[in-house]
Amino acid sequence: MEHCNVHLAAAGEKASDDAILYAFDLLYFDGHALTKMELSGRRHLLEDLIGESEGAIRVSQEVEADGATLLAAAREHGLEGIIAKHRDSTYRSGRLGDWLKIKCIQSESFVIVGYEPSSAARGGIGSLLLAAYQGKAFVYVGSVGTGFKERCTRTAPDAGHAEDQARAGCGR
């Protein structure tokens, strides 16, 4: 990873009363689109606008460093990830590769032990019930959305239908 302008993103582990918005770019100000301006200029305007605030809206921290080293540091500090941009880039809408969002992936394995019916689609699956091993037994850990398309939530998936659903495009 080359040296890039990187912004740190804290993981969302606090109550909403403690929420802080970290602004990292300014695209429009005082009736003017700033998208043709380089990021470094937009950041300068953003810093002038928000200042050294300790309030609910703050400017994200900028770090110029080796991306791999910074990502490792972000993981060690329990951060959600980093955002990397070139300081001389203008803003272009969409996922064009001008900036990168790199997450600190933390994962565990779970087993689907059931489902809850959908409150929106009659006969559909609303969420999946998950369990994880604790010692030698499964312990319920919570529920998650399915990510299924609406037409795929009408029947509970089972071993006999999983392949048919996958072929129909019902997976994620």
Per-residue pLDDT of the chain (172 residues; tens, 9 = 90+): 334 444 544 554 555 667 888 898 999 999 999 999 999 999 999 999 998 878 889 998 888 888 889 999 989 988 888 888 888 889 988 778 788 888 887 677 889 998 888 777 666 788 888 998 888 888 998 888 877 666 555 555 554 454 444 444 444 3
- Tell me whether residue 59 is exposed, middle or buried, using C-beta atoms within 10 angstroms of its C-beta: 0 to 12, 13 to 18, 19 or more: buried
> In the 8-state DSSP scheme, what is residue 16?
G
H or E element that contains 71: helix 67-76
**Three-state secondary-structure class, residue 17:** helix
SS3 content of the chain, % helix, strand, coil (to 5): 20, 35, 45
Q: How far apart are CA 13 and CA 45, in angstroms?
A: 30
**Which strands form 81-85's sheet, in the order they lie side by side?**
62-66, 3-9, 81-85, 99-103
CA distance 118 to 113: 16
Q: List the domains of the chain with CATH numbers.
A: 3-103 (3.30.470.30), 111-167 (no CATH)
Predicted local confidence at residue 149, as pLDDT: 62
Closest CA relative to residue 56, chosen from 87, 17, 90, 26: 17
Do residues 146 and 129 lie in contact, with contact meaning Cβ atoms separated by under 8 Å? no
pTM: 0.51
